[in-house]
């Protein structure tokens, strides 16, 4: 919870807006911290309730996991997260069955195309250079934007957030939420 608050404060101070994909069970355990995301103008998306590998769930299990996450977000944050949904681990992003189920619930999977595995980092000073390198590689390949996957709970990410915000403002003028990205998060995220 402290890491989330630290990150949100740094983003707010820099005028940075992000999209937070929220797990229902974590939201239920930390409603006050999570409410700062929505009240600060960040976009909130659904990231399931349990964070289970969606491919291993029955159709009923998928529906219950997505719906329970949705209900927590709506009840605690007072926002409708639809249509923004991030599959746990990206698992099932390439599954027509799972995509149909998400659409039936009013959601669509939002992928990512930059993942520096911030949750594995041990030093905060490695985060920004890793993101800078990944964005530069995408630009060299002709990309005009990137959806960067970060996690709110690693201490490394929270500690690096002020530097990351400064980098994003200086490098590209800031950030946008996923609803403002061309294609609204339709990137080729494949299941692990």
Looking at residue 185, its pLDDT comes to 62
Looking at residue 184, its pLDDT comes to 61
Which letter does DSSP use for residue 85 in this model?
A: E
Any idea which residue has 């995509």 for tokens? 99
What whole-number distance in Å separates Cα of residue 40 and Cα of residue 173? 19
What whole-number distance in Å separates Cα of residue 169 and Cα of residue 37? 19
Any idea which residue has 């959806």 for tokens? 147
Calculate the alpha carbon distances from 186 to 67, 80, 86, 190 in Å. Answer: 22, 20, 11, 11
Give the number of residues written for the chain: 192
Please give the structure tokens belonging to residue 69: 């996450």
First-to-last C-alpha distance (Å) of the chain: 27
Sort 58 into a burial class: Cβ within 10 Å, 0-12 / 13-18 / 19+.
exposed
Residues 6 or more apart whose Cβ sits within 8 Å of residue 127: 116, 118, 121, 156, 157, 160, 163, 164
Rg (CA), the chain: 16
What whole-number distance in Å separates Cα of residue 27 and Cα of residue 30? 5
Looking at residue 187, its pLDDT comes to 62
Residues 6 or more apart whose Cβ sits within 8 Å of residue 154: 3, 118, 119, 121
Looking at residue 189, its pLDDT comes to 58
Q: What is the mean pLDDT of each run of 10 residues along the chain (192 residues)?
A: 85 93 94 86 96 96 98 95 96 94 96 93 96 94 90 93 94 84 64 42
């Amino acid at each position: 919870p402290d890491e989330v608050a630290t990150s949100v404060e740094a983003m707010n101070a820099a005028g940075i807006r992000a999209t937070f994909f929220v797990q229902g069970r974590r939201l239920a355990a930390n409603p006050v911290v999570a409410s700062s995301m929505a009240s600060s103008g960040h976009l909130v998306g659904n990231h399931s309730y349990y964070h289970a590998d969606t491919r291993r769930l029955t159709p009923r299990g998928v529906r219950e996991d997505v719906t329970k996450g949705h209900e927590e977000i709506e009840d605690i944050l007072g926002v409708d997260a639809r249509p923004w949904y991030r599959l746990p681990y990206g698992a099932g992003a390439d599954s027509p069955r799972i995509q149909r189920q998400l659409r039936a619930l009013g959601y669509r999977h939002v992928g990512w195309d930059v993942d520096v595995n911030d949750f594995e980092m041990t030093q905060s000073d490695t985060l920004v250079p890793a993101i800078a390198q990944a964005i530069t590689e995408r630009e060299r390949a002709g990309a005009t934007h990137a959806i960067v996957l970060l996690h709110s709970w690693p201490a490394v990410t929270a500690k690096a957030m002020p530097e990351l915000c400064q980098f994003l403002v200086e490098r590209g003028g800031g950030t946008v939420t996923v609803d403002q990205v061309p294609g609204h998060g339709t990137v080729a995220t494949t299941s692990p």
